[in-house]
């Protein structure tokens, strides 16, 4: 069972454009993490959101956690080629491990 749905799966945009990717679940998250992974490397944690309605900003990246804690979004403003990568959302489990969504593969063309 896929617990986390991410959309879109692929996104190709020009440098300077804005974009939003989404992470949804039918169940409530106790917390949610966003990671970015580049080819041939491990994921790097971007942010952890915990509280419903929470908004966190990391430079040009804005993360939002839904009020009902069933969804989250990542918005990138004025995308740069360096933003290219696989964006993964992950839900923490009680055992302490993570369940990952399938990811959104972002390509930003100069």
Partner 1 sequence: GAVVSQHPSWVICKSGTSVKIECRSLDFQATTMFWYRQFPKQSLMLMATSNEGSKATYEQGVEKDKFLINHASLTLSTLTVTSAHPEDSSFYICSARVGGRGWALEQYFGPGTRLTVT
3 is a contact residue toward partner 1 (CB under 8 A): no
State the residue for tokens 């696989």: 86
Pick from 12, 14, 27, 30 the residue near partner 1 by CB under 8 A.
30
The sign of the dihedral angle between the CA atoms of 43, 103, 2, 51 is: positive
Between CA 66 and CA 51 the distance in angstroms is 9
11 is a contact residue toward partner 1 (CB under 8 A): no
- Which string of x and - marks every residue 59-88 that binds partner 1 (by CB under 8 A)? -----------------------------x
Give me Rg for the CA atoms of the chain: 13
Q: Which residues contact 42 (CB under 8 A, 6 or more apart)?
A: none
Pick from 23, 76, 101, 108 the residue near partner 1 by CB under 8 A.
101
Between CA 79 and CA 40 the distance in angstroms is 22
50 is a contact residue toward partner 1 (CB under 8 A): yes
Pick from 28, 44, 58, 68 the residue near partner 1 by CB under 8 A.
44
51 is a contact residue toward partner 1 (CB under 8 A): no
Facing residues of 78 across strands? none
Chain contacts with partner 1 (rule: CB under 8 A): 30-31, 35, 40-45, 48, 50, 88, 92-103, 105
């Amino acid at each position: 069972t896929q617990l986390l749905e991410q959309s879109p799966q692929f996104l190709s945009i020009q440098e300077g454009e804005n974009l939003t990717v989404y992470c949804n679940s039918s169940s409530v998250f106790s917390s949610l993490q966003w990671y970015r992974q580049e080819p041939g490397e491990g994921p790097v944690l971007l942010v952890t959101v915990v509280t419903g309605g929470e908004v966190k900003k990391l430079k040009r990246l804005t993360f939002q956690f839904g009020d009902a804690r069933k969804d989250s979004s990542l918005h990138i403003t004025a995308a740069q080629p360096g933003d290219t990568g696989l964006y993964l959302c992950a839900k923490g489990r009680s055992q302490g491990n993570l369940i990952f969504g399938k990811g959104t593969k972002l390509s930003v063309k100069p």
